[in-house]
Structure 1
Amino acid sequence: MNKQEFINAVNKFDTHTDAETRIAQYFMQHYAVLPFAKIDELCKQIGVGKATLGRFLQRLGFSGFIDFKKEVTEDLTQTLTIPIERYEHQTNNDNPDDIHGLLISHYREVKDNVEKTFDALSEQDFERAIDIMCQPRGKLYVMGSASSEALANYFFLLARYLRKEVIFLKGDISTLPHQLVDVTKEDTLFAISYHRYSSVTVKLVRWFHECGGQIITLTDQPVNPFVPYSDVQFMVESEGKGYFNNRAAGFALIEALIKGLSLQQEKDNRFQRIEGLFEEFSIFKS
């Protein structure tokens, strides 16, 4: 069942309860990532019970949520999220490419994503994330694959100024075990992953959870494979009209996290030592 078939089936209902309306609206808004959903978290997000969701899906002809998820195919979850598909979509669009007004259009896109993200963020979650990242015991691991790797590396470089034992995990599956051999329950993982979720990052988050470590995730969909394992999860908007999604809101949140980390004590010596190393190796030209 694709999204349009789902909409058509719901529209054939003679009546809708308030709960069914909420379910249908939520499904239509997040249809592409429903294959990653866990039923408990999904019901929590919508504000309905599992029995209510089950009855709704039975009205659609499914035995339950697992049966429904089987019908939401992998092709559907990737609709217009792969750059080549975006390219083909825009190539077949009647509107020709036009650079006029592109700069202001992109600015508005960035502004809209950042505003939506920060309006929805929880101050309590943000403060908790900072507390976890500032724990004096344990290491802080950082991971991001594909486009998320740039955000993870940016966070890593600045966080190294602010605390000891920040470790940047490479997404190479053949060397990842060597990087994780010393993980303990006192460690923290900061994982960044956008839809389409990297299978390596998903496995890493799950494994880190099994080790008892604390997990902070940054992603762009409320329904995702990290929900059951995250101690704190941040949702950032990433809508983009070009071939690629927009990562500006993710960068903005990372900079806020760095500012939060900078409030901790005992960073002066690290700054001085890093700057001394820059001079020792003639990194920058004055």
Structure 2
Amino acid sequence: MNGSTAIKRSKGFKPIDERIEALTEALPDSERKLAELLAAQPALLATHSATELAEIAGSSKAAVTRFIQRLGYDGFATARREAREAQRWGAPAFQVATDLSATSDDAFGEHLRRDLQNLALTFEKLAAGVVEPAVATLARARRVGVVGYRNSHALAQYFARQLVLLKDHVALLPQAGQTVGEDLAGFGADDMLVILAFRRRVPIVAQIARLAKKAGIPVLVLTDAATPAKDVDANWRIACETSGSGRFDSYAAAMSVLNLLVSALAQRPEVLAGNRLRAAERLHEGLDEL
């Protein structure tokens, strides 16, 4: 890692559980205990010192040092740095999780507290100078493409379906079985691209954003707060807090922001004049769909 915050997996990264599985030699009992502990809870490597790990495992600090070197690390500091990098990158196995297995008020309360905190922090940083021009451009856009991969795909799908109620020519990209290059062909300054870029991203997301901006296509990016702005270039960027109470990221704040965007869009004169929402309702009634 260099001086900047590492958010994506560095080249040569190999999770500690894979390193443990790759061991072929028999381990002394003191190191075997550490292997079992870290294979089950790799996040401890990012949050605990060598002395603390030894105490939890019922081993010794010297055994921790030997075991870490046996796994191929230069030393404990290197192993810990890699584990923390994996945390920032969003690897679920390296997240520190609250025990939610017990259906207790404490567990539910912590889960709710974290989501409320994410919402509060996200909206504290949300600027009208970003939302208003982004929504205005959405309203005027001839075509809108919504891009999202992995976990972001579900968010992109939700947003695209809401946009369909308000605008013509909205597409979730890439279309099934197709490539983004084909779908974006013909997009220009009169169109718009909305990219959902939450961790952990595939490399093509940043490439799409960069090429779209180069082609003069307005780009709005929604991403997690841990991702530096330079990682995904855009005209407008909205960062959402996604820290979950368990091993997985929470998208409560992201969904709320998406709802805000479509709600604001629905009030735009260009959208109201189109009356697409009412037309869809009439079709629902005529088809007896709902």
For the superposition of Structure 1 and Structure 2, which TM-score range results when normalised by the shorter chain?
A: 0.5 to 0.7
- Report whether the alignment pairs 1:117 with 2:122: yes
Alignment counterpart, residue 276 of structure 1, candidates 274, 282, 287: 282
Residues 9 and 86 of structure 2 are in contact (CA less than 8 Å); yes or no, is this contact kept in structure 1?
A: no
- Code of the aligned partner of 1:275: E
- After superposition, what is the alpha-carbon deviation per residue over 1:136-158, rounded to whole angstroms, capped at 9, x for unaligned? x5211111111111111111111
Q: Distance in 1 between matches of 2:169 and 2:85?
A: 37
Work out which of the residue numbers 27, 31, 46 in structure 1 matches 2:5.
31
2:136 to 128, 131, 148: 131
- 2:86 maps to what in 1? 78
Partner of 1:194: 198
* Contact kept? 1:205, 1:226, Cα under 8 Å: no
Q: Cα–Cα, structure 1 residues 199 and 75, in superposed 2: closer, same or farther, change >3 Å? A: farther
Residues 173/204 of structure 1: CA separation in 2 closer, same or farther (3 Å cut):
farther
Mark the CA change 1:76 to 1:243 in structure 2 (over 3 Å): closer, same or farther.
closer
Q: 2:108 aligns with which of 103, 107, 117?
A: 103
Map of 1:208 onto structure 2: 212
Identity of aligned residues (%): 22
**Shift in Å, 1:170:** 2.9
Asked whether the equivalents of residues 142 and 152 of structure 1 are also in contact (C-alpha less than 8 Å), the reply is: yes
| Selected match of 1:261 from 262, 265, 269 | 265
Could you tell me which amino acid in structure 2 is paired with residue 32 of structure 1? A
The normalised TM-score by structure 1 is: 0.66
- Residue 190 to residue 74, structure 1, CA distance change in 2 (3 Å): farther
Superposition RMSD in Å:
3.1
Aligned AA (1:199) = P
What residue is the counterpart of 1:61 in the other structure? none
Residue segments in structure 1 that go unaligned for 5+ positions in a row: 3-26, 37-72
Distance in 2 (alpha carbons) for counterparts of 1:74 and 1:282: 56
Matched residue type, 1:130:
V
**Within 2, Cα distance between the matches of 1:257 and 1:96?**
32
Amino acid across the alignment from 2:215: C
Is the contact made by 1:173 and 1:200 (CA closer than 8 Å) also made in structure 2? no
User: In structure 2, the residue corresponding to 1:79 is in which secondary structure?
Assistant: helix
After superposition, the Cα gap between the structure-2 partners of 1:97 and 1:271, relative to the gap in structure 1 and judged at 3 Å, is: closer
Cα separation, partners in 2 of 1:31 and 1:171, compared to 1, 3 Å: farther
Q: What is the one-letter code of the residue matched to 1:158? A: Q
Distance 1:198 1:225, change over 3 A: farther
Unaligned runs of 5+ in 2: 11-80
Report deviation, 1:166. 1.7
Partner amino acid, structure 2, of 1:140 = V
Structure 1 residues 279, 108: closer, same or farther in 2, change over 3 A? same
The Cα of 1:204 is off from its aligned counterpart by 1.3
In the TM superposition, what whole-angstrom CA distance separates every residue of 1:72-127 from its partner, at most 9, and x where no partner exists? Answer: x98764337223444xx66xx9x794332322221111100000111111121111
**Counterpart position of 1:232:** 236
- The answer to whether the Cα contact below 8 Å between 1:171 and 1:200 also exists between their aligned partners in 2 is no
CA distance in 2, matches of 1:131, 1:264: 8
Pair 105,203 (structure 1): closer, same or farther in 2 beyond 3 Å: same
Larger of the two Rg values belongs to structure: 2
Whether the aligned pair in 1 keeps the contact of 2:152 and 2:198 (CA below 8 Å) is: yes
Cα distance in 2 for partners of 1:190, 1:78 equals 27
Runs of 4+ deviating beyond 4 Å: 73-76, 171-174, 224-227
CA shift digits 1:10-67 (9 cap, x unpaired): xxxxxxxxxxxxxxxxx6xx7333899xxxxxxxxxxxxxxxxxxxxxxxxxxxxxxx
Q: Is the 8 A contact 1:184 1:211 kept in 2?
A: yes
Instruction: Provide the aligned length of Structure 1 versus Structure 2.
Output: 216
Structure 2 Cα separation of the partners of residues 106 and 250 of structure 1: 16
Q: CA distance change for structure 1 residues 248 and 263 in 2, over 3 Å: closer, same or farther?
A: same
Separation (CA, whole Å) in 2 of partners of 1:197 and 1:248: 18
Q: Hey, what's the Cα distance between the residues in 2 that align with 1:107 and 1:76?
A: 25
Native 8 Å contact 1:145 1:171 kept in 2: no
2:24 maps to which residue?
Answer: none
Quote how far apart the aligned CAs of 1:171 are: 7.2
1:194 CA drift (Å): 1.3
Distance 2:263 2:100 in 1: 42
